[in-house]
Structure formats: structure tokens, C-alpha cells
Amino acid sequence: MNQQSSPTQREHYFYVAIAKFLFYHPEHGVISVADPIKLKDAEQYALSPLILYGLSVAGVPIRWMTYTPADKPRAFRDVLTEAWRDAKGLRGKPNILWINRHLAKASPDLKQKLGKMDVELKIVDAKNKSLAASLRSAQDSSKWLLATHSSTDKSPSESIKALCMDAQRDHDYSVMDGNRGTRSGKEKEMVQQWMSLSAQKPITSAPCELDWELGPWLSSWESSVPPNLPRYIYHGGFKHGGFKQRPCLLIGENVLEDVAEDIFLDDQYCDNVAEIAKNLIACWPNPPVQIAKSIGTTLKRLQWFTSKEAALDPAVRAALEDLLSITYDERIGNYSEDGPYVLIAQKPLALKNAYESISDGGDASPCEIVPQNGAADPSWRYILLNTYGKPPSIVMSPPWCNNYRSTSRSVCEL
């Protein structure tokens, strides 16, 4: 299949999985989880899993989602009929519905049932990453659904019903004229072209019995989730864009509610420590395993942190910030490198990012350090970064590595 398919082909991706960032709590209703947690660990906080069902338009940035409790799954045919009937952005039923091999195995009769609706069912092959990408995007967007339809009734049925209404609202907003200012002109044009198609509404039928079998594949994302860390539920919610976000399960020890929001917002919007650390560690003279050991953690946990997959224990994180000389800059509202540093030119992109960050945009007047008399060290070239308001830093590069030549031809004599 051509991943850049014309919208007139009417192709949808259908995916089903245990929600990665949303759970149900008997007291607080639906809550979001900032950092993924294994289902077994979630039980410690009285959290029950939800099933995410999603449809994405092939080649067009339009998606629809709905949810059910994991112990009350819905028939695929019912979910698809509802989506094609109520989600105006899908333009009704497609000509082709793409699913993965897990869904095909879980519901062997689905192909025949969809055939009666004039929808051809196809299974994506290993080379087609579009369906998997659609599922990841749906999972990530779930935790940002705003609780615009929340109510005082926290019963499972009402709380999850409100969540589904919020997901429907998010879908409706995605196809409004002039929406999504972050979209490119090309994406907006694609949406407009797709929305100009007539809707192919399915024939409404009576609800059917469950037509698929649940399995471990629903929570395959658990394999990449780090071991559990202490967490607490902040159930006050946060204001965002005039709306209230759902209660959250946050990593760390319980804190006073009047400072919880500040911590959450700092973690979500101002916390760039993981990105800074990732670039510095890639250029650090010591290998990552030694860095991890020196701050009292394992290499795997350090990698999870720099990949933004899990937080570090507060004491370990403080040790990492101290080792890498990372401090919070109130002037700019996030973290920055204080230095001084001696970095090794090993990964071009990491060095480029570190250089631009250390020099606040790349204005560091770099120059090569050479001896005033005698031959230069044949093993290394030394580049001096003259950062402003901070101690200078040095980048060491092998002489054969042309990628790291100084952008300045000036010479700094020893």
C-alpha cells in the first residue's frame, strides 16, 4: 500500500489496545498517568485498565477514539458502526479497513462481516509502519484529553462516558475549518480535501455479541515500561486552555496540593533536563555506564530517563544534575548547562545540540587551541567555546574527524 494514498481511496486504520496513559479509579474516575505503569503495578493504586479503540484516516491527520473498561469490551462491529455513523471526520465507512495481525487473529469472522458492509479488510505487513504509528499517536494524545464533560458522578459508566464524549469533542475540533494552527498548509489542504467527500454512512444494526478475543497483545507496550517507582494521585486536576485536566498519577512522594500543580507543570513544560543530559552524556569523556554508577543508578534507568520514558529518583536526578552541571535558570524558565565542560566529539548530532545549547544558540566564537611553539598534539584537536557569561568549554576531536572543525579560523595560543 502506498502510504501517501489519495484521500479518495477511503482507507482507514483500525487499532485496539489497553490505554497506556488512562486508567479508571473508583474514587476519582478516569485519571491520566504521566509516566506509563505496568498493569500489575497499577493495581496498587486501585487503577483499572481501559481499552482504547481508534480509527485513523490513511494519509490524512484525522483520528477518532473511544474507550471501554477492560472487563467490558465492545464488539468490533459495534465500535466501527458507531464511528462511521457519528464521527463526521471519517466520512462514513471506508472502502478498505487496515488492521494488524493481532486483530485479525482475535476476530477471524471480521473479514466476512465487513464484506457484507462493502468494506474490504486487509492486514498490514511488517513494512507498513503507518498503523503502528497511528496507535502510538492515539495513545500519546489520550493523556491530553481535557475533562470538559466531567461530572460529580464518578461511577465507571458515567466517568468513561464523559471520557468518550471528550474524545468525540477532540475529533470534532480536529475537522473544524481553520483549526489546528500548528498544522502546515499542506496538512490543512489534505483535511479540507478529505472533508469535501460525501459521507458513506453504514446501515445501523442491532448491537451484536462480542466478536473478538482479548489477549496479551493488547498491552504489548508493557514490555518497554520501566520498573515501578513511588507514585501518588493528585486529584485536583489542572487548568489548561480554560478547561480542567483529569486527576493525575505522578511519580514521587505525595506533596502538598498547593505545590503539586507547580511540580506537574514544571515536569511537563519546563523540564528539559533529560534532553540536555542525553546530549551531554553522548559527548562525555566517561562512558554512560560509569556515569550511571557514579550517581547511584543503573545504565538502563539512566537511558529510560534520557529517553523521557521514566523519571529518576529525586536524589539520583539531583546527583546527575550536579555531575553534568545542569541548573535551573529562572530567567528563561527552564534548565541550562553551566559548565565548564570537556566534551568528546563522538556523535555529530549530539555535539551540535550540546554546542548550540551551551552557547545559547551557537554564538560561541569557537577557535582551535594550538601550542605557541612546537607541533600540535597529533592525537587530538582542541576547540575552545567562548560562551558569554559562563566559563569556557573545550571540545576534543580526533584530527581525522572533519565534521568537528571549528567554524572560526582564529587561533587561541596557549
Beta-bridge partner residues of 394? 342, 384
Q: 3-class DSSP state for residue 221? A: helix
pLDDT at 116: 92
Closest CA to 393 of 340, 322, 327: 340
pLDDT at 403: 47
pLDDT digits (tens, 9 = 90+) for 367-390: 888 888 888 777 888 888 877 777
* Distance in angstroms (rounded) separating the CA atoms of residues 383 and 394: 6
pLDDT digits (tens, 9 = 90+) for 7-23: 567 999 999 999 999 99
Mean pLDDT score, 304-311: 83
Q: How many CA atoms lie within 13 A of 73 on its CB side?
A: 20
Q: pLDDT grade, residue 406 (50/70/90)?
A: very low
For 257, the enclosing helix (H) or strand (E) is helix 257-265
- Burial of 41 by CB count in 10 Å (0-12 exposed, 13-18 middle, 19+ buried)? middle
- Burial of 168 by CB count in 10 Å (0-12 exposed, 13-18 middle, 19+ buried)? middle
pLDDT digits (tens, 9 = 90+) for 23-73: 999 988 899 998 889 999 999 999 999 999 999 999 999 999 999 999 999
Percent of the chain with pLDDT over 90: 47
Determine if the pTM surpasses 0.85: no
pLDDT digits (tens, 9 = 90+) for 71-114: 999 999 999 999 999 999 999 999 999 999 999 999 999 999 99
Kindly write down the DSSP assignment for every residue of 16-53, as one continuous string.
EEEEEEEEEETTTEEEEESS---HHHHGGGT-EEEEEE
CA dist list (Å): 395 to 280, 316, 375, 382: 12, 27, 19, 6
Residue 2 has pLDDT above 80, yes or no: no
Look over the chain and give the mean of its residue pLDDT values, rounded to a whole number: 83
Residue 280 has pLDDT above 60, yes or no: yes
Query: Under a CB-based contact definition with an 8 Å cutoff, are residues 208 and 77 in contact?
Result: yes
Q: Where does 96-242 have alpha helices with state H?
A: 101-106, 110-115, 130-142, 156-174, 185-195
Mean pLDDT score, 205-220: 92
